[in-house]
Structure 1
Amino acid sequence: MLWYRCDVLLALYICPLACLAMSPCPPGCCCPRPGFLVLCESLGLRSLPRSVPLSTSALSVARNQLCNVDHLLGPFSGLQELSLSHNLLPRFPRGLPPSLESLLLQENRITYITSGSLRQLRNLTRLDLEDNRIRVVQPGALLDLRRLQILTLKGNKLTSLPLNLPPSLTHLDLSANCISSLDLPSLSALVNLQVLNINSNCLRTVPENAFDSLPRLRSVDLTNNLWVCECDILYLYRWLLSSRLKMATDLVCKEPLHLAHRLLLNLSVVSICPHVLQPHGRTHHLDLGSAAIGKQTERVSVENKEELLQRLSKPSVSEARSIQDPSEARVLHYALETLTYEECLSLNKTQSIGSTHLKTTPLPEEEQRCRENTTAPSNTTSAGGTQPWLSTKRNELFSNPRVLTQKDSAAIVSLLAVLCVLLALMMLAVLVLLKKVLVRQQRVAPANERSAG
């Protein structure tokens, strides 16, 4: 029994030494689990450390000065998570191991994504390209990533939605770009999409049925765009009214000038698109189950407006379907983006590291965007404190001057008639008074003559 205990103690003493010898930690790096998790951050590295164990599962060389790592990480056949963020990479790294599941490349100098860059990375579930200089994503460059669930392209210079995105996406962040239009076929293919962030772009409108083919969508951010509040935005207007998603509804109009700085949902349908109810103009058709709003009478009553709003508020196809969230993305064993070098030094080697949500990196000040959206959300009332319905009513009154003229004429005629009646009564009273005076004088005169005789 004593010999058995000695053997156990000897094994416990020798095995860690053997592991350290087989999987040494590179100088200056932190290895809370040598051979599995290696952090070499903020060391001013210009090349990868040479002594990183090939059995490493999670590697971070973030916040260094790496310019080229092409074909240097291929031998790491078991690497699942890699962070190359905050470096000086001018293009997407080549020759990465196919085993990668999470790749962090935020804050580099990447300008384009070619179709061959990610061909071998078919196990990726997360790709973060935030705050680069990407202008072009070749069509189909991401289509082969059939397991990709989280794609972050925030803070780049894209002018359109990337084409042929993988249908497996559940989270797509395209905020702080220069996107001016949404490609309907590419968007409708994202049948598993749950979160869409496309705020702080140059969108002016949204195409018809843009979100109706996304049955699992549960969060959308469309704020801080260049919305033109005219007839073409009525689909988005209806969708916002009927949607039950988690989203910001404070969309501010940029154009036309008389509606600038006003909240879209504070406007009436008539103020957005006057042609909807004009009797002599071309009727604007709305997507309401192949039904069009017909011609109305010349005067638009409040009841007609309320009825129209109820028809516009019909639920879309996406809300009519049952929404079932798919299974969440598989959480990786390590989270490099949340573990700093200082925290790593204080960790126990056997402590497991959990993953957290994505970080939001502030946008670089020197990057010029396609425009500056400095419009602040307005209050719930219109300019000058006027309520929207009151403003609409006033516009209707001023838009029909004939009604005001007829009313004024009738009032003037009535007033003149009353004055004429009063004048006639006054004249009649004066005549009666004069008659009485004359009769009295005639009676007094003969009495005076008799007294004098």
Structure 2
Amino acid sequence: MSPCPPGCCCTRPGLLVLCESLGLRSLPPSVPLSTSALSVARNQLCNVDHLLRPFSSLQELSLSHNLLARFPRGLPPSLESLLLQENRITYITAGALRQLGNLTRLDLEDNRIRAIQPGALQSLNKLEVLTLKGNKLTSLPLDLPPSLTHLDLSANCISALDLPSLSSLVNLQVLRINSNCLRSVPESAFDSLPRLRSVDLTNNLWECECDILYLYRWLLSGRVKMATDLVCTEPVHLAHRLLLNLSVMAICPHVLKPDERTHHLAPNSALERKLETLTVESTTQSSFENKRNLGDLSEPVSIETVSKDLPETRVLHEHYTLETLTYEECLFLNKTQSASTSHLKTTSSLPDEEQKCRDNITGRYPPSNATSAEVTRALLSTNRDAAWPTPNPQPFTQQDSAIVISLLVVLCVLVALLILAVLLALKQVLLRQQRVAPLDAGSGG
């Protein structure tokens, strides 16, 4: 049995070798050629071209968190999992992966990839998981293999979805294209993906006009689990509004022209009525449920995940892989193997990036175990701008009017009586003056 390279950790030399965070500038010279899983992550490797070709049994390889400026050449065809996240790769040539037909997982997250030549991924007939998150792509890669089930293109600069590239992905189940520059989705873009069950389209530059009606109706159909809080950026009067809080008329006023009403809307009258009567409350509830469901999806585990606090209740399996054993866990095992060989330990904790993703998806909503009152308060708080019905003030207005009229009538009666009293008083005064005047005339004669 070949010895373990100095500074590395080997559960069983010749099978799984972990040489992580050692400041290596080249591959360790004494790695057994029979190794099936090798990790040299978190080092300072700049070039490994053709150095790994002799490892004919190598199935899992991690070169993540290094200084590779291009896709490594001369890798063994036996590879099934290749992790290259957080390097400095800028492009993928057409022949870079030609000999890697057994790959099922390829992780290129957080590189600087601007271009992938057409056909570069076409020969990967077994590839299931492809991660291109955090690069500088401006369009979907061409000739993607139909075997893909998980495709992550988030945090790029993609401004349009290429229909031919999407239509070939008949086995795709999870699509992440959030945090890009999409403005709309082409008609029937997702109709050719029969197995699609999860989509993330948040944080794009959605232009809420007529071209977005396909996506609008597709979201309302509820065919897949996804976050529905897509925010409009244009036009200006709809900016910062949630797409599903808008009506068809608000998005595309021309869709209901009088001369087209009967011809265009008759076949979909039921759907249009549903769209027009959609309430803010039901939309928010749907968004909450979809987001909560997204957290249940299983994701690939990143190799570089390091568990700082290793619980003593974790149990290692007989077959170790790069995804179930970290460098620190390996060292821990070597210390405990001498004491007992029947209680080996391992785990596969969620990576920080995945946990952050789940926190981002569910952070704005109550947790799944929240009480109904808390959920209700959360839902109501998201709709504070919605119009609430106000009490009808009409009965109070009529009552006030009747009181005012009665007061006016009483006032008029009082004024009339006052005038009558004044007139009677004047009459008495005049009569008295007439009686006094003749007497005064007789006494003078």
Equivalent residue for 1:440? Answer: none
Equivalent residue for 2:201? Answer: 222
Equivalent residue for 1:82? Answer: 61
Selected match of 1:35 from 14, 30, 53: 14
Question: How many angstroms does 1:197 deviate by?
Answer: 0.8
TM-score (norm 2): 0.68
CA contact (8 A) 1:228 1:253 kept: yes
Selected match of 2:3 from 24, 32, 42: 24
Question: How many angstroms does 1:80 deviate by?
Answer: 0.4
Report the more deviating stretch, 123-132 or 339-348.
339-348
Selected match of 2:331 from 342, 345, 363: 345
Which fold has the larger relative contact order, with Cα–Cα distance below 8 Å and residues 6 or more apart in sequence?
1
Cα distance in structure 1, aligned partners of 2:205 and 2:171: 28
SS of the equivalent of 1:162 reads coil
Name the aligned partner's letter for residue 40 of structure 2: V
Cα distance in structure 1, aligned partners of 2:194 and 2:187: 16
Name the aligned partner's letter for residue 279 of structure 1: P
Matches within 5 A, 1:314-329: none
Cα distance in structure 2, aligned partners of 1:62 and 1:104: 9
Cα distance in structure 2, aligned partners of 1:265 and 1:70: 51
Quick one: structure 1 residues 384 and 131, their matched pair in 2 at CA, closer, same or farther if it must change by over 3 Å?
closer
Name the aligned partner's letter for residue 346 of structure 1: F
Quick one: structure 1 residues 131 and 291, their matched pair in 2 at CA, closer, same or farther if it must change by over 3 Å?
same
Residues 1:196 and 2:189 aligned together:
no
Matches within 5 A, 1:134-283: 134-279=113-258
| Runs of 4+ displaced beyond 3 Å | 282-286, 288-293, 302-307, 331-335, 337-340, 348-359, 376-386
Cα distance in structure 1, aligned partners of 2:332 and 2:191: 50
Residues 1:387 and 2:386 aligned together:
yes
CA contact (8 A) 2:324 2:346 kept: no
Cα distance in structure 2, aligned partners of 1:196 and 1:354: 27
CA contact (8 A) 1:107 1:131 kept: yes
Cα distance in structure 2, aligned partners of 1:167 and 1:252: 31
Quick one: structure 1 residues 122 and 279, their matched pair in 2 at CA, closer, same or farther if it must change by over 3 Å?
same
Name the aligned partner's letter for residue 252 of structure 1: V
Name the aligned partner's letter for residue 47 of structure 1: S
Equivalent residue for 1:323? Answer: none
Cα distance in structure 1, aligned partners of 2:224 and 2:275: 28
CA contact (8 A) 1:139 1:162 kept: yes
Question: How many angstroms does 1:139 deviate by?
Answer: 1.5
CA contact (8 A) 1:222 1:248 kept: yes
Quick one: structure 1 residues 76 and 173, their matched pair in 2 at CA, closer, same or farther if it must change by over 3 Å?
same
Selected match of 1:336 from 299, 315, 322: 322
Equivalent residue for 1:44? Answer: 23
Quick one: structure 1 residues 356 and 244, their matched pair in 2 at CA, closer, same or farther if it must change by over 3 Å?
farther
Question: How many angstroms does 1:40 deviate by?
Answer: 0.4
Q: Could you list the per-position Cα deviations for residues 151-209 of structure 1 after superposition, in whole angstroms to 9, with x for gaps in the alignment?
A: 00000001111111111111111111111110111112111111111111111111111
Q: Could you list the per-position Cα deviations for residues 112-168 of structure 1 after superposition, in whole angstroms to 9, with x for gaps in the alignment?
A: 111101011010000000000001011221111111111000000011111111111
Q: Give RMSD over aligned pairs.
A: 4.7
TM-score (norm 1): 0.67
Name the aligned partner's letter for residue 341 of structure 1: Y
Quick one: structure 1 residues 138 and 355, their matched pair in 2 at CA, closer, same or farther if it must change by over 3 Å?
farther
Aligned residues, how many?
361
Cα distance in structure 1, aligned partners of 2:173 and 2:274: 38
Matches within 5 A, 1:126-141: 126-141=105-120
Equivalent residue for 1:59? Answer: 38
Name the aligned partner's letter for residue 85 of structure 2: Q
Cα distance in structure 1, aligned partners of 2:21 and 2:109: 19
Cα distance in structure 1, aligned partners of 2:206 and 2:213: 11
Give unpaired runs (5+ residues) of structure 1: 1-19, 297-301, 308-327, 364-375, 391-428, 438-443, 449-453
Question: How many angstroms does 1:289 deviate by?
Answer: 11
Cα distance in structure 1, aligned partners of 2:181 and 2:152: 15
User: Structure 1 vs Structure 2: percent identity of aligned residues?
Assistant: 75
Equivalent residue for 1:111? Answer: 90
Name the aligned partner's letter for residue 63 of structure 1: R
SS of the equivalent of 2:353 reads coil
CA contact (8 A) 1:25 1:34 kept: yes
Give unpaired runs (5+ residues) of structure 2: 279-298, 301-316, 357-362, 366-377, 390-415, 425-430, 436-445
CA contact (8 A) 1:250 1:377 kept: no
Question: How many angstroms does 1:334 deviate by?
Answer: 3.8
Report the more deviating stretch, 221-230 or 351-360.
351-360
Cα distance in structure 1, aligned partners of 2:30 and 2:63: 17
CA contact (8 A) 1:381 1:388 kept: no
Quick one: structure 1 residues 211 and 304, their matched pair in 2 at CA, closer, same or farther if it must change by over 3 Å?
closer
